[in-house]
Structure formats: C-alpha cells, structure tokens
Amino acid sequence: MSLDSPLFLFAFLPAVLAGFFAAPTRFRPFLLLLASLVFTAMGDVSALPVLAASIFGNHALALAIGNARDAGRTVRRKRLAALGVAANILYLAKAKYLGFLAASLPFLESSGIDPAGLYGLPPLGISFFTFQAVSYLVDVSRGQVAAEKNLLRTALYLSFFPKLIAGPIARYATMLPGMRLPRPALSDVAAGSVRFCLGLAKKTLLAGTLGPVADAAFSARPLGGALDMATAWLGLLAYTGQIYFDFSGYTDMAVGLGRMFGIALPENFDHPYISRSVREFWRRWHISLSTWFRDYLYIPLGGGRVSPARVQGNLLAVFVLCGLWHGANWTFVVWGLFHGLFLVFERTRAGRLLDRAPAALGHAYALTAVMLGWVFFRAADLPQAMNYLGALFSFRFEGFAYTWMTVASRQALCALALAVVFSLPLGGVVRTISDLAGRGGPLGRGAAAAAAILAPAALLVLSAMQLAAGTYSPFIYARF
C-alpha cells in the first residue's frame, strides 16, 4: 500500500483520521503507532519482524548509550554507539546487498543460481528507518538528544507511516514535540491537507503522465526501432521531470500528513533544478539524505578540514555510498561516482571559475550534468546506460516521427511544459496575486479565499480521476 493508492486514499487514511481526532490526546500516539504497523503489514508483512527488531534493539542501545554518557563512561558510550551503528548498517547491507555481492561472484553465473531469488527483496522501508535509527543512536551518543525512555515513542519515530516508504529521513529531535503531544491546530490540518493534495497532484498528474514517455525511451526495445537522438532527449527530459515530481510529490504528501497529525517532518526539496552547480543541487535535492551523509559520514571523515587530496577522496567515498544506498546495482554506484567527480571538480581552481560565470551558464552546466546522471539512475544496467548516452549524441533522428505520433501526446507535452514551470520558485508570483486580491476589497479577498479552498479540492478530484483511469504507478523511491 502506498500513499497514492486508492486503498490508502479512500479507506485507510479516512479511518485513521477519524480515529485520531476522536481519540483523547494521550491515546493518539498509540493510535498512530497501530496505524503505522497496519500500514507496514499491508505493504509488506515480512517487514514487521525486521521493524520490530530495529525498534527494540535501538531503544535498548539508546538507553545504554545514554546511561553511559550520564555516568561519564566515554569508552563504553563510544563502543555501544559503534556497536549500534555497525549492527544497523550490517543488517541493511545483508538485506539489500548480499544478493548484489553474490551476483558479482563469477562462479554463480555458471552454476545457474539466481542471487535475486536466493536472497529475496529487502524489507519495506529498511533504507529509511535504518538511517533514522543510526542518526538517533549517534545523536544520543553526542548528547544532542536524550535517550527516549518511552518505547512507544521510539517505535513511532521509526515506523511513522507517512515517511516509512520514501522518507524524508527525520531526526529524532524534529519529531519529538509532536510525538509527545500530537494536538494539531485547525490551521495545521488545513495546511497539511493542502500540501497533501498538492503532492498527490504532482505524483499523479505530472509524474504519472511523464512516466510513459520516459519508459518508452528507456525500454529495452524502444518504439520505432533503434533509439534516435530526439527520442532519447525527449525521454530524458520526461524522466528528469518525472523523478522530481514523483519524489517531491511523495515528500509533500508525507509532510502534509505529518502536519495533519501534529508531527513535524523535514523538508526534502528546494527547487533543485534552478541550481548553478552540482554542489548546490545537493543542497536542494533529497536534503534529508544529503545532510545525513554530511553529518554522519563526511564530517566524521574530516569534512573540509583535511588535506585537499583527502577531501576529494572523502567526497568520492561519500557519493559512491550515496549511490549504493539507492539500490544494489552498478548503475547506482556509477551514478554516485559521477556526482562525486563533479563535486571534486568544483573544488578545483577550474571548477571555482563557475562561481563567477554568468548565471545562465551555471544553470546550463548543472542541469546538463544532473540530466546525464539520470541516465545511469534510470537505466536497467550499465550497457543500456552507455547505449542511451550514445543515442543522446548520435545525431540520428530516424524513428522520431514514430515517437511523436505514438508517445508525445498533447497530455504528455502539456505535462512536460507544466513540469518546467512548476520546477521554478513561484512563491513570489503567488504572493503578488494574493496581494492584488487583497487590494480588491471584500470581493477580491472572497475570491482568494474561495480559490484557496477550491484549487486543492480540484487537484484532489483530478488526481482521483487519474487513479480511477487505471494509471497508478508506484513511487520511484519506494523501491529504495
């Protein structure tokens, strides 16, 4: 079950909301935990034992680390923290990467053993709740948060259903006030509902429409024969929009749901496609993941305080691991290395010239680098990625007429145009329209108030119609 599935939208969520607001405040955390466990079971019942082990194990370790810190036993505190981090990461590696590592062994191919079938799929949400558990243990060890004595809160922190499938990766201190007293104001419920509807529309109306265009270009056998240059660029543009609106749409839905329940979740995106460098892109894209790697890996390795050669090595290591976090495939490793190399380049003298380059040149450089990186991210394997990159610069156009007739529908082109517009910061435009409406007297203010209610409702209806048409597709990041 996903946040945009009909079962969630029309059965699970209304039932949870009704129970939440009917329950006394002190019982609401228990109700949210119960809902989160049911949500997990409906998505992947085999994930429940893993999630339960993570909850109990990390709760006990955090208490032990906190006690060691209070007693001034530094060595014991560090050993316990190292044990907790290692246990979490090793289990994540076993669940996600054991099959990948086994597949790299040459003798398996000749033996006829399928590594994927041998080790199965990783448990639902394991990448996200494991990274949250690591951040919690390290923050307790550093004294940034106190160890939670209430098992229910630890369980809710790790399992809270809006963020379980695709994040954001929340810090314990961010969620704690809401978990202690989940009492959202009416304004929180209203703002959260609007945010949820906006995210659902981004997923279904934009990402869902762009997906088939990208799929047609990235398929093993592209429509119309060999992949031509125009089809390749059209597919890459579509995927660039699809992955952003798919993932940021999920974040909007998760953050909106959290606000409706009175629990704050961190922002994850800040218009990444307006970046002027790859470095800036990572300050705006998947913010909760990039800050996790910065705070719990890059800075402990020395950050920018060590020699230039070691900084470059640290950057490459961090981004290779960042790529591997996304999935057990060499394409993700290369994608991470690709971004790491750009960050290394931007720290050189030649790279720093970009900071003084015209804004248009910086935007073109960053967007081109990011889009070329998406080829590795989307491709099924490295040979397909290299073939796709070759098609992007092949100057061969035979077959595009067929693509234009069969794939580039008016709806898809409209979605692509809207994706370009809505990837830009439009807050100033919205404020200007609001100010103009306010100057229009009672009639203008009434129209603005009506639009604030009707627009999200219209997006919800349109999204429901799209889902009813049978165009549902899972969130891209749900598989990570």
Closest CA to 165 of 290, 380, 4, 331: 4
Q: Are the CB atoms for 188 and 259 separated by under 8 Å?
A: yes
Closest CA to 245 of 218, 280, 266, 271: 271
Q: Are the CB atoms for 181 and 188 separated by under 8 Å?
A: no
What phi and psi, each to the nearest 5 degrees, are found at residue 461?
-65, -45
Closest CA to 223 of 378, 375, 398: 398
Is 271 a known active-site residue? Answer: no
Q: How far apart are CA 65 and CA 137, in angstroms?
A: 8
Q: How far apart are CA 174 and CA 184, in angstroms?
A: 15
Q: Which of 59, 271, 286, 326 is catalytic?
A: 326
Q: Are the CB atoms for 59 and 154 separated by under 8 Å?
A: yes
Q: What is the DSSP-derived secondary structure letter of residue 191?
A: H
The two structure tokens encoding residue 88: 């979490």
**DSSP string for residues in 120-145:** -PPPTTHHHHHHHHHHHHHHHHHTSS
Catalytic residues: 326
